[in-house]
């Protein structure tokens, strides 16, 4: 029978009881370097090394501005983190933020220093030693996956410190050398391990980052930092935008994030068919109307909503949901107001950046159109005028 347990990068005794490998695994942890890409664009580098019970490393990320993070994590005899020191700053400059995570018996005490201000808070852990949740510091995910894969459990839930709270991440065996991981609000990924326990690759395309990560022999972080600091800063990966129009007496607006293709297959690729999609990126896409509408023939009273879609090979569905203001992974079907079909057409020219258009007119009729890759999906919008 498959086994599952709740673990927190635990004490040695607990590790032995539940089938997680003890800290003194058969092989010493590997050192390494990673390169992360988003489609055709390189978005991050990381290099790290182990020295006894200390993991040290640095990463360089591109978005929204080039940023360097250096870290040093000291582990205890039970394999849990005891102290994490983190320095963050713009590429080519001194660190602007310094953070320390100190693990106590029942909490992680965090101190964050930025310029002349200091913030302190604690995250209750009930005696556990959770991982830090840094989705693009891959050495920590490798450490957790290596420990999990060396044990005997089929799945395990590991707690992580995400800001001021704990976020559980589930690890599962996906094959002889594959570890799958998933978390609410983040999505799911897959880590391919080498025989020595080091990560060969990370497929994070199912998470909010959408990264693909490969292990490389080495990375010249200093050279990349100099180059990235000198170039124009790219800004957000998926900038926020608003599309709006007057449809009859109504003002209709859609607020959404705009991801780019970056050489990737979009529909049926990074946006799977048959699954609810946030219809954009990052925070949920919002619809705001100051008059009652009919969308696809269904009534939508004045107010604020979120828009979701289900792309399909044979048709698309638009969902208008009552909940609003949430992150784009927080879809609750019990809050659906209406579901309507979209009219889908193919375009000869690909659309690089996801685009929503609201078109209106004096007659009280208009439309909302979604365009990305070579797909255009449209729904009719009509204002319900006062009798």
Q: Where are the domains of the chain?
A: 4-226, 240-383
Per-residue model confidence (pLDDT) at position 61: 96
Q: Is 193 helix (H, G, I), strand (E, B) or coil?
A: strand
Distances (CA, A) of 339 to 32, 316, 321, 327, 354: 48, 10, 9, 20, 21
What φ, ψ does residue 17 adopt, rounded to 5°? -70, -35
Query: 332: exposed, middle or buried (C-beta count within 10 Å: 0-12, 13-18, 19+)?
Result: exposed
Rounded to whole angstroms, the Cα distance separating 35 from 47 reads 9
Rounded to whole angstroms, the Cα distance separating 62 from 72 reads 21
Rounded to whole angstroms, the Cα distance separating 86 from 196 reads 27
Cα 371 to the center of its chain, rounded Å? 23
CA angle, 22 then 25 then 31, to 5°: 120
Per-residue model confidence (pLDDT) at position 386: 62
Q: Could you read off the pLDDT tens digit of each residue along the chain, which spans 387 residues?
A: 445 444 444 443 333 233 344 444 445 678 999 999 999 999 999 999 999 999 999 999 998 899 999 999 999 988 889 999 999 999 999 999 999 999 998 999 999 999 889 999 999 997 777 999 998 999 999 999 999 998 899 999 999 999 999 999 999 999 889 999 999 888 899 999 999 989 999 999 889 889 999 999 999 999 999 999 998 877 788 999 999 999 999 999 999 999 999 999 999 999 999 999 999 999 999 999 999 999 999 999 999 999 999 999 999 999 999 999 998 989 999 999 999 999 999 999 999 999 999 999 778 999 999 999 999 999 999 998 765
What single DSSP character describes residue 174?
E
- Lookup: tokens for 376: 């255009």
- Torsion (CA) 21, 26, 28, 32 in degrees, nearest 10: -80
Per-residue model confidence (pLDDT) at position 231: 87
Q: What contacts 364, CB < 8 A, 6 or more positions away?
A: 247, 248, 249, 250, 382, 383, 385
Q: Which DSSP string do the residues of 108-167 spell out, in sequence order?
A: EEEEEEETTEEEEEEEE-TT--PEE--TT-HHHHHHHHHHHHHSS-SEEEEEEEETTEEE
- Classify strands 250-257 and 316-321 as parallel, antiparallel or unpaired: unpaired
Q: Return the number of other C-beta atoms located less than 10 Å from residue 361's C-beta.
A: 12
Distances (CA, A) of 281 to 236, 304, 353, 373: 11, 18, 11, 15
- Classify strands 250-257 and 286-289 as parallel, antiparallel or unpaired: antiparallel
Q: Is 15 helix (H, G, I), strand (E, B) or coil?
A: helix
Q: Is 36 helix (H, G, I), strand (E, B) or coil?
A: strand
Rounded to whole angstroms, the Cα distance separating 238 from 228 reads 19
Q: Which neighbouring-strand residues pair with 38?
A: 41
Rounded to whole angstroms, the Cα distance separating 69 from 55 reads 14
Q: At CB < 8 A and 24+ separation, what contacts does 40-47 make?
A: 40/262, 40/263, 41/262, 43/211, 43/237, 44/136, 44/211, 44/213, 45/219, 45/221, 45/224, 46/136, 46/137, 46/138, 46/139, 46/219, 47/218, 47/219, 47/221
């Amino acid at each position: 029978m498959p086994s599952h347990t709740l673990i927190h990068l635990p004490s040695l005794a607990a590790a032995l009881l539940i089938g997680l490998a003890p800290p003194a695994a058969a092989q010493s942890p590997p050192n390494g370097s990673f390169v992360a890409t988003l489609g055709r664009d390189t978005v991050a580098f990381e290099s790290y090394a182990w020295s006894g019970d200390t993991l040290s490393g640095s990463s360089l990320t591109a978005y929204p501005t080039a940023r360097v993070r250096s870290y040093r994590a000291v582990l205890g005899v039970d394999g849990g983190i005891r102290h994490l020191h983190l320095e963050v700053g713009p590429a080519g400059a001194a660190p602007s933020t310094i953070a320390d995570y100190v693990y106590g018996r029942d909490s992680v005490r965090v101190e964050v220093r930025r310029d002349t201000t200091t913030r302190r808070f604690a995250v209750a852990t009930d005696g556990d030693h959770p991982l830090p949740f840094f989705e693009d510091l891959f050495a920590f995910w490798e450490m957790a996956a290596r420990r999990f894969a060396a044990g005997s459990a089929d799945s395990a839930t590991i707690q992580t410190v995400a800001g001021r709270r704990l976020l559980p991440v589930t690890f599962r065996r996906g094959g002889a050398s594959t570890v799958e991981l998933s978390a609410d609000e983040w999505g799911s990924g897959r880590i391919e391990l080498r025989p020595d326990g080091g990560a060969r690759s990370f497929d994070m395309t199912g998470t909010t980052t959408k990264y693909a990560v490969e292990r490389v022999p080495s990375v010249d972080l200093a050279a990349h930092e100099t180059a990235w600091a000198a170039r124009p800063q790219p800004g957000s990966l998926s900038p926020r935008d608003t599309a709006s129009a007057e449809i009859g007496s109504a003002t209709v607006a859609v607020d959404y994030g705009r991801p780019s293709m970056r050489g990737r297959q979009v529909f049926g690729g990074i946006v799977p068919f048959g699954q609810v999609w946030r219809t954009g990126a990052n925070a949920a896409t919002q619809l705001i109307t100051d008059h009652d509408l009919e969308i696809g023939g269904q009534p939508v009273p004045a107010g604020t909503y979120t828009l979701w879609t289900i792309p399909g090979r044979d048709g698309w569905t638009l969902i208008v949901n009552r909940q609003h203001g949430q992150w784009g992974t927080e879809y609750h079907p019990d809050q659906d107001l209406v579901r309507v079909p979209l009219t889908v057409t193919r375009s000869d020219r690909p659309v690089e950046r996801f685009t929503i258009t609201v078109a209106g007119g004096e007659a009280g009729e208009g439309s909302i159109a979604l365009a990305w890759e070579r797909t255009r999906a449209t729904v009719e919008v009509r204002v319900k005028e006062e009798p």
